[in-house]
Structure formats: C-alpha cells, structure tokens
Structure 1
C-alpha cells in the first residue's frame, strides 16, 4: 500500500509590519544574493554582488502610503513576499521573493496570482507593471508564461548605488513588463 500523499501546509497571506523587517530582508537576500541563493533558480549571484535590499528599504515599503508588502506564511514563517504599489491606473509589483528551498513548487505562481487579485480589488487597477533586469531571460520567460509582456521600454540600472548591489557586468538595465488585470 502506498503512503497517502501529504499536502503542503496552507499559506496565510497578510501585510507586513515593521516587526517583520529583519525576516523579510533575510528572505529577499537569500532568494537573490550569495551562495544560499543558488539553491533556487532566481539567484542574481552571477550578475550582482552585495545586497539586494536593506532594513531601511524594506521598512520604507512597509510604511509607505499606497504601498503594501504582502507576505505569504507557512507554519508561522514568512516564505514569500512581494511589494504592491498603487500608481494611478496601474499597480507596481516588486520585491518578489520566494524562499530558495521552496522554489519550483508553484509557490511563486500562487503569490503572484494573489498579488494581482489584491491590486485589482484594493485599488481597481487594470494593469500590473514590474521591472526586471533585462539579462534575466529565464525570469522574464516565467513572467511571460503568466501573461506579462515585454514592452521594450528600459531604464538604467543604478550603477554606483550599492544599495541595489554591486554589478558584475556592465550591460544591466531594467525592462518594463506589463500585464492587463481585467
């Protein structure tokens, strides 16, 4: 007789508070920077060194009017997060992180879908916008499979501002991706 399949523990969603800042910084850093990030597929360790975010940056998102830092918890631990910011007719999606140990299990899809619903119902926006480092082909393809489209509009990477990391190459820029939410 085969053992019964066990379902993953349920996710609980809530807005982050100032008390969550240290845990959120650790989550974001683990998903994108350093050797620990290589356990997942979202690592930026080959293109950026240094930090991805810091406590002041996360706290600013948590406390900003018109902005939310949505967390997904499993068994009392934050395992994913994303920023939602109201920008008129659209919402901005950023600071998306999933624990590297849980990447590839579909958690990111669930969090992204929840973020889109929250933006639509909370602010009545009709589009979600995000920026992705243009050389992140696998990540951009992941978003395209979820309905985002490349716009070809780019903005410069903040070279020289170590709050966003230390570039390991000289061709980084952000590309705007957009998805209708209707």
Structure 2
C-alpha cells in the first residue's frame, strides 16, 4: 500500500494537495459574497450577514469579530471605516460563520441520502518531469458516499483533519491512491 508523498515536486511535478482542491470546491459551493471586503458594498454585505440576528452576532464574536455594538453601528452607517486588521477579522468571521451555516445543507446535498456524489480527480501535472521519471496517471472518478468528516473538517477550518478525511476517501481507488494525493483539480457538483 502506498504511503504519503514526502518530497512532492522533487522532479518537477506540479499540483496541490487533494484536500486543498476539495476545500476550494466546497468554498465555491458555499457561495461567498463576491465583492471584496475592502469595497463598501462588500463590507456592508458581510456586516449585515454577521449582525442580522442575535445568534449571528454571537457566532461572529466567537469567530473573532470582537468589536463593540457601537463600533458595528458606526461601520454600518458609514460614519467610520474599519482598519485593515478589522477588515481581515470581518472577512475571517464572515467565512467562518458562512461555512458553519451552509455545512449542514452541503452535507445533505453531497450525501444525497446515501447515493453520494461523483468526484472527478484530475491528476498532477507532470509536463516538467523528465520522461523516464513520469508515472502513468489518468483522470479518475470516484463516488464519495460519506461526506460527513470532510464537510465537518472544512466547516471547522481544520486542515489536518480535512487531509485525513480526504485520504480516507481516496483509498477506495485501490493500490493507486497515492498517485492522487496531489492533483491539478478536483471537481464535483451538488
């Protein structure tokens, strides 16, 4: 059984860890606000999302947005602007709360009552690897039926757990799963 890759890119291969590609795809499905937080419209959209209910405010505080209600009100009314550091905190809190809010919905969509979701795995890019050192890797598909660990790790922002959860799924590819630890892209739609 293959082990995890220790020196990826040693001979010129390019790609990203599979769990990072999965996280990118889940982020795309989460549907974040497209306007950057530095623009007034993007700032207001995030602040409204984080302050529309008492529960949303509490979760934003837990996620790291620890400013007073007076400051939030001033930002919303446009009397003051947040500092660069506070803009980063707003963005981080928004992404954290949004992930938590959509996790249950995404989990139901991806599990599809036990039928799962087909995942397309595009292999790593070996165009810069000399011919004798290239491996034969091909485009693969995999039906993932249990997304629970993956979505929970993504929602929590736990990269190590997400990596372990993803590797736990790709071992279903058999003895070749190590070839798909690094990929160019992973695609799935829910």
TM-score tier by shorter-chain length is under 0.3
Q: Which of the pair is proportionally richer in strand?
A: 1
Higher helix proportion: 2
Task: Tell which structure's C-alpha radius of gyration is larger.
Answer: 2
TM-score, structure 2 normalization = 0.25
Between 1 and 2, higher relative CO (CA 8 Å, sep ≥ 6) is seen in 2
